[in-house]
Amino acid sequence: MLKKLRLRFTLITALVVLIITIAPISVLNFVSHWESGRETSVLLRLINFHKGMLPAESVDGESEHYQYFSVYRSSSGEVSVTSKRNLDNVSDTQISSAAETLLDSLSTAGTVIIADQSFSYQVVSESDGLRLSAVNINAQLANRSRLFHISIAMFLVALFFFISVAAIISKWAVQPFVENYKKQKRFIANAGHELKTPLAIISANTELQEMMEGESEWSASTKAQVERMTALINQMVSLARLEEQPDVTLGDVNFSETVQNAASSFKSSIMRDGKTFHMDVAEGINIKAEAKSAFELVNILVDNANKYCDDGGNVSVLLRKSRDPRYSAHLEVANTYMDGKGKNYSHFFERFYRDDESHTRAGSSESEKTTSGFGIGLNMAQSMVKLFKGRIDVRYSEDTIIFVVRL
């Protein structure tokens, strides 16, 4: 419990830091990219406007620092390099060849690599030909790359720092929730023990009254309610104990035998109620689990299917080898449930959740009261499956509700 809460707290903190830091870093890099591109575009327009030369007064006297060239191709097809600044490592032949290729491609703007140098170019039409001017952008690309890597490094440092701080303070941050959770479990366990004593006295007094005066409608009702309350207390205590041992040692369990034994015990009661029972269990399927809990898991699912199966319906249990390589067993427990269409099955594993229909059925008649539950069983089943590192799902198909367990 504590580990899960601390991990969740740390992950949420990391997500918040991720969002907070990525936004400004992304904006910073975008603005840098846009600004350098705008500067290059302005330079190219100036060079083309001045027939291949960059006037010093146009760029605050810094024209000598820029590396650029300009090529003119006349209407007759003659190509000439009209200007070249600070490009001693690039020959006129290389420039002419690249420019002719670009002009033939009819491209008006873009980037090109000449002699391992990156250039941004622009083509404009003149009265009797075409002019291609290009500016070396190696420095800009290097600056962008440097800014990007610095941003990533700062982001990683900030993320590591905040995750470390969150991991350190998470113990204190989640401690109130853990203490409250422990108090709730202690209350359930203690209340369970305290309630069992008066229930035992009520049961004994009722039996004594029946011995003296005979069984009546009221004594039978009292005993039934005592049994229901006792069952509820036992389930709550069992659930509290189950959650207290998340690190239980798992061993090899013959799940085929477990399912066979647990499900078979319900056959007579299911058929006595006028329902049909079908069981198909593959042999030799073993899982990593705790034997008693695995048996109780099957008990809960089959008992739930029996309780909520429609009159004259069918209860089925299917066990086969899982097709998913992550699991060994695939268990399906299904029952007929005509009113199940449109239900929100995502709530079925919530503690103390009961579908409204079950309340109606539970209050309809004395016979139907036995089908009502407390909304604990499926939550216990889910806890057991998690304990075994498995998965439990529920789906509805063709008037049948199906609980699927993968272990």
Return the closest-CA partner of residue 268 out of 258, 260, 276.
276
Q: Grade residue 298 by pLDDT with cuts at 50, 70 and 90.
A: very high
Q: What is the CATH number of domain 248-353+373-406?
A: 3.30.565.10
pLDDT at site 137: 92
Query: In this structure, are residues 135 and 119 in contact, taking their beta carbons and an 8 Å threshold?
Result: yes
pLDDT at site 254: 95
Residues 6+ apart with CB under 8 A from 242: 293, 380, 383, 384, 387
* For residue 351, pLDDT beyond 90: no
pLDDT at site 1: 60
Residue 79 DSSP SS3: strand
Q: Which of 225-234, 312-321, 333-342 has the lowest mean pLDDT?
A: 225-234
DSSP string, 30-51: HHHHHHHHHHHHHHHHHHHHTT
> Bridge partners of 340?
none
Query: In this structure, are residues 403 and 333 in contact, taking their beta carbons and an 8 Å threshold?
Result: yes
Region of residue 208 (phi > 0: left; psi between -120 and 50: alpha; otherwise: beta): alpha
pLDDT at site 333: 96
pLDDT at site 358: 46
**pTM (two decimals):** 0.53
* Mean predicted confidence (pLDDT) in 357-381: 53
* For residue 107, pLDDT beyond 90: no
pLDDT digits (tens, 9 = 90+) for 68-93: 999 999 988 888 988 898 888 889 99
pLDDT digits (tens, 9 = 90+) for 162-199: 888 888 888 787 777 777 777 767 776 666 667 777 87
Q: Grade residue 246 by pLDDT with cuts at 50, 70 and 90.
A: low
Domain boundaries, given as residue ranges, for the chain: 1-144, 248-353+373-406
